[in-house]
Copies of this chain bind each other. A is one copy, B any other.
Amino acid sequence: MKFPFQTVALIGKYKTPGITEPLLRLAGFLTEKGLSVVVDKLTSDHLERHDYSEAELDEMGGAVDLAIVLGGDGTMLNIVRTLAPHRVPLVGVNQGRIGFLTDISLDNMLPTIGDILEGKFVTEQRMLLQGSVLRNGVEVFKALAFNEVVLHRGNTSSMIEFEVNIDNEYLSTQRADGLIAATPTGTTAYALSAGGPIVHPALDLITLVPVSPHTLSNRPIVLASKSVLEIAMNRAGDVWLHCDSHSSFQLEENDKVVIGRYAEPACLLHPVGHSYYHTLREKLFWNKAP
């Protein structure tokens, strides 16, 4: 991480009406502080005219020292996958309700970002997963996931069947709607809906969560992040591999899915005093009188 930050990327959830004002306000604030601003091209196309420089998201990785995302967790998720390989630290500003990844509110945006520029922040490393597909020994698909890699049935009306191996050792043959391999970040997303545990995001772990498993004792398993999963399709059928609900790939019989930790972690910057437990309480409605 290059600090002090000099060049800052701004990315917004461009479909959101009203993103122009706060994004340009933030751009002005950064410029006044003497920093260079680069606006994501796709975001920029949805803004009013402005004079800031623009760049495609997947080209700005090597050129910026910091990325600030205005939007929800979904927006942040997409940006992380693209910028993590370039080790760009990320800051998330939510537009209304606190997110797991976007913990700065619009109301406090300028003073909080100001603090961060002065070095008042907490750095958090979070692991990503990589999912790939081997067909006859050849890699035919590869994608990163910040939340989860999911094997799931598609249009078929029946459960799918697959064999799970961990570190070259046989775990079990499973019949289910699917199987989720979640990062700690992803354990408060889809994996939680499927019955998985919450894993503290500072940990490096892979959590396997079966989706509607036929065997009732087939329960979530928490594994070391260095573990490598291999999943073999036992039967034909309409089966898909999804990385973060973003990249999807249709599997064929005898395909082998390989899932493991991606080498580079994402780097999130939080305001000093940021509390993961506070976010949990807010998002999960804990401590509300029932």
Instruction: Assess whether A219 is interfacial by the CB under 8 Å rule.
Output: yes
Instruction: Find chain B residues with CB under 8 A from A242 CB.
Output: 157
Give me the 10 closest cross-chain CB pairs, A-B, nearest first.
A197-B220, A157-B242, A217-B284, A157-B245, A216-B217, A193-B212, A197-B197, A154-B155, A199-B222, A198-B221
**Complex contact B197–A207 (CB within 8 A):** yes
Return chain B residues, CB-CB under 8 Å to A283.
290
Residues of B near A288 (CB, < 8 A) are 215, 285
**Can you list 13 A-B contacts with CB-CB less than 8 angstroms, sorted by A residue number?**
A97-B289, A155-B238, A157-B240, A176-B193, A194-B212, A195-B195, A196-B197, A197-B197, A197-B220, A200-B221, A200-B224, A203-B205, A216-B216
Number of chain copies forming the complex: 4
Task: Tell which of A46-54, A61-69, A126-134, A163-171 binds the partner.
Answer: A163-171
Residues of chain A in range 185-227 having any CB-CB distance to chain B below 8 Å: 187, 190, 192-200, 202-203, 205, 207, 211-224
From residue 231 to 287 of chain A, which have CB atoms closer than 8 A to chain B? Answer: 238, 240, 242, 245-246, 248, 250, 275, 277, 280-281, 283-287
A211 near B214 (CB under 8 angstroms)? no
The reply to whether B224 and A203 form a contact with Cβ atoms under 8 Å apart is: yes
Q: Which residues of B contact A171 (CB under 8 A)?
A: 277, 280-281
Min CB distance A274 to B, Å, is 11
Which one of A194, A222, A283 has the greatest number of beta carbons of chain B within 10 Å? A222
A residues adjacent to B (C-beta < 8 A)? 97, 150, 152, 154-155, 157-159, 166, 169-173, 176-177, 187, 190, 192-200, 202-203, 205, 207, 211-224, 238, 240, 242, 245-246, 248, 250, 275, 277, 280-281, 283-290
